Amino acid sequence: GQSDHKYIDDSYFIQKDRTPPIVSIVSPPYGTGIPVGQPTSIVVQAFDSCELDDIHVRVNHGNWILLENTHLFTYTPTNTDSLTIEASATDTNGNTSVISDDTTIMLFPFTGLENTPVLNILSPENGTVYHEKENILLSLEMKHLTQAVLYMDIGGNKEHADNPQAITVVRSVDDFEQIAVNIQLPAVEQDIMVILRVESHKVSDQCFLSVTNDPGIDLEPVWDIYPDQKILSGTYMHLKISPPEQMDDFNNASEIIVENPTGSHHIEHFSMNTQSHSITAITGDALSITSVLMDRSGNRQVNHRSIGITPYFDHHNDMLFSCNQNEQLLADIIILPKLNQTLHCLLFAVNSLTGGYEIRYPDGVFYSKTTGQLTHLSFTGTGILAVEKNGQTNHILFWPINGEISDTPVTYNLTGKLIGSAGNTIFLQHGALFDAIQYDSKFFISIAGKNISSPVTMARVDCGRLYILTENALHAFQTNESLSLTQVFMTHMDSANGFSVNSKSLMLWSDTQIKSFSMENDGHLVESAIMQTRGVIQDIVMGHDLILVKTCLTGNDSLEIFKNQQCVGLISPAPASFVFTDQRMISQTQDHRHIFSKNIILDTVSEAFDPTLTETPLAVMISTQPEETIDIFDSNQRILPAHRTFWQKGIYYKILRQHITENSIYVKRYDRNGE
């Protein structure tokens, strides 16, 4: 039942750290001979459970010297007196190591004698940083020696269990005294110093390297693929897979593997760098791309992508025509209907550099002259149109078609600029004035024009209409029975660099952006898609079921091909011009010297072919789908001149009654399934 208190007043000291650093001189070995007048590297190793404050060395018990490079001391002996080198280290708690056999070495300088062996590590330099397992090139000087042994000491420990086996370096007496040795650095568990030590008889040398532990690759290469989802066979893909910018141990053995198509034996290997590659898709299900990124430690990172291939073009090109070298240049190429039911006819203009021109088939000449140059060759639906330039004079040439092509063209003195044509109507520009001429059986008659007050960006003709794009509006004109141009509509819109129109599809472009619209007869526009190109847009052509965009991509003119609002292929360099038939794409090269044909792969067309025929007092109107390509002919297989035009609420092929000589009209469609 008693209670009491007892108080004790006492104190004691707590020492944070009383253990001195562990110090040793790991290179060169005790008793090594070193040359007088040449620097010798002494490597000091020091460890402490806390943190080192400084490392000092002294020579022959002289003053202590603070090491700037905490592990390396360089000394140049001036005479042959023996040297005692001692090392000491102090930690941040003031504990200093004790001088012992491990912290002391003796070295014996010697003067150069004739034929004295010399063994030096010339490179790499002391302190160079490498990654573990990296392959490096070691440069040795071996004078008056034929053999030496190379050691790699992890942590400067000659007995470390993971030290690689010693490498014997052999040099014949006739070899150069400086030799190169490829070595692979050892694997290490942490960032650590590795001593390279080379010995032969009583001479040796060493250097120390900082070797970094490298557990793997945590960066990824930079992929740049265009197109990146699907690609049409026979077109190009832009492929560039670059090393990560932050990767400091990139291995040049890294590569790109392309299997084209997947499962085939057609395999291409490319080095991984900043270079771009053009890959042509070969018909198959998919194209396989694999990147193998490697570091200098031998670690690998593998990535894979598969790009679906849509069969469309054959990947081979057939040459149809080649100009005479340095004598001719191609102008335009066009496709005519199947006259007399032969194949669709290719027609093209060839200009002589010394004057004169020819309009040719691949195997013959349709028309030629010994003077002048030919431009603007086109097919209007009812005839062949061209412009002949002869000095300062320009003439329109027109060959009407009525079953056959006329041998002699009808001519017209051209004083303005040819914009385009529709049937027998040819649209012209004279500054701000836009007008037309119309072929009427034997000669041309004038169509009164319209002045456009705003600056004109571009003008084009399609389906009988003249379209004019200004800074803030799209104007549409057509001819009327009173022989004048009448405005169909004017639609206000944002400014654009250019436009393309095909029946009821309108595309406006600015820089690298395309805006696609569905266009009603009255000019009402409904935006349907926005597409982005890689290169700056120069022109757009809508052909077959494709949108072909001419751009300046990577310094070259290219075709970026779109299908369903998605880029599906490239053609680079872009052809100077091209046309489509039912089963071929025909193009001329950028240098205007060669014509090539590329087959289009057959495909099933699901849309039914159901043309409708409507008679009017002056013409017969035939309605088809906008994307369909057709020929119209009579029972004698004679082609009937017809051109597309807006009528009522649709687009029709218009045949003037004066060209119809019987009661029967035949319509044939051409598509990727043939006739």
Give the mean pLDDT per block of 10 residues along the chain (675 residues): 67 74 86 84 85 90 87 89 92 89 87 76 93 94 90 93 94 88 94 92 87 92 95 95 94 94 88 93 92 94 95 90 90 81 76 94 90 96 95 94 83 96 96 95 92 96 96 94 93 94 94 94 90 96 90 87 95 93 88 93 73 89 77 82 88 88 82 60
| Domain co-membership, 230 together with 301 | yes
Residues 149 and 164 in one domain: yes
Can you give the residue range of the structural domain that contains 617?
612-670
CATH number at residue 306: 2.60.40.1930
Handedness of CA 615, 619, 622, 623 (dihedral sign): negative
Q: Is residue 161 part of a domain?
A: yes
Answer yes or no: do 643 and 653 share one domain.
Answer: yes
Q: What is the CATH number of the domain that holds 96?
A: 2.60.40.10
pLDDT at residue 3 in the model: 64
- 247 lies in the same domain as 277: yes
**DSSP class of residue 408?**
S
- 379 in any annotated domain: no
Residues 6+ apart with CB under 8 A from 596: 317, 318, 319, 320, 586, 587, 588, 589
Any domain includes 103: yes
Closest by CA position to 506, among listed 487, 491, 484? 491
Give the pair of three-digit tokens for residue 3: 């209670």
pLDDT at 33: 79
The alpha carbon of residue 180 and the mean position of all alpha carbons in its chain are separated, in whole angstroms, by: 39
| Pair (132, 177) in one structural domain | yes
Which of 138, 124, 134 lies closest to 295 in space, CA to CA? 134
Let me know: does 423 contact 654? Beta carbons within 8 Å: yes
631 forms bridges with which residues in the sheet? 668
- State residue 537's pLDDT score: 96
Residue 365 in contact with residue 381, Cβ under 8 Å? no
Q: Is residue 139 domain-shared with residue 99, that is, in the same domain?
A: no
**By the 8 A CB rule, do 262 and 306 touch?**
yes
- The reply to whether 365 falls in a domain is no
- Among 112, 146, 173, give the residue marking a domain's end: 112
The per-residue pLDDT for 606 is 63
Q: What stretch of H or E contains 538?
A: strand 536-543
pLDDT at 547: 95
- How many other CB atoms are found less than 10 A from the CB of residue 370? 9
Examine residue 659 and state whether it is found in any structural domain, yes or no: yes
269 and 235 in one domain? yes
- Of 310, 331, 349, which residue is a domain's last? 310
Of the residues 260, 295, 310, the one at which a domain ends: 310
Quote the pLDDT of residue 72: 87
Total tally of structural domains belonging to the chain: 4
What is the secondary structure of 587-641 as a DSSP string?
EE-TTS-EEEEEEBPP----S----EEEE-SSEEEEE--TT-EEEEE-TT-PBPP
Looking at the domain assignment, is residue 408 inside a domain?
A: no
- For the stretch 483-488, contacts whose Cβ atoms lie closer than 8 Å and that sit 24 or more positions apart, written own/partner, are 483/438, 483/445, 483/446, 483/447, 483/448, 484/447, 484/448, 484/449, 485/434, 485/435, 485/436, 485/447, 485/448, 485/449, 485/450, 487/450, 488/521, 488/522, 488/523, 488/646
Both 204 and 227 in one domain: the answer is no
Nearest-5° angle of CA 305, CA 306, CA 311? 155
Residues 146 and 181 in one domain: yes
Vertex 149: Cα angle to 145 and 154 (nearest 5): 145
Same domain, yes or no, for 289 and 258?
A: yes
Predicted pLDDT of residue 17? 78
Let me know whether 38 and 24 are in one domain: yes
Cα–chain-centroid distance for residue 269?
16
Write the single-letter amino acid at 500. Answer: S
Give all strands of the β-sheet with 619-623 in edge-to-edge order.
612-615, 619-623, 650-656, 643-647
Residues 149 and 202 in one domain: yes
User: Is 210 part of any domain?
Assistant: yes
Query: Is the residue at 420 inside a domain?
Result: no
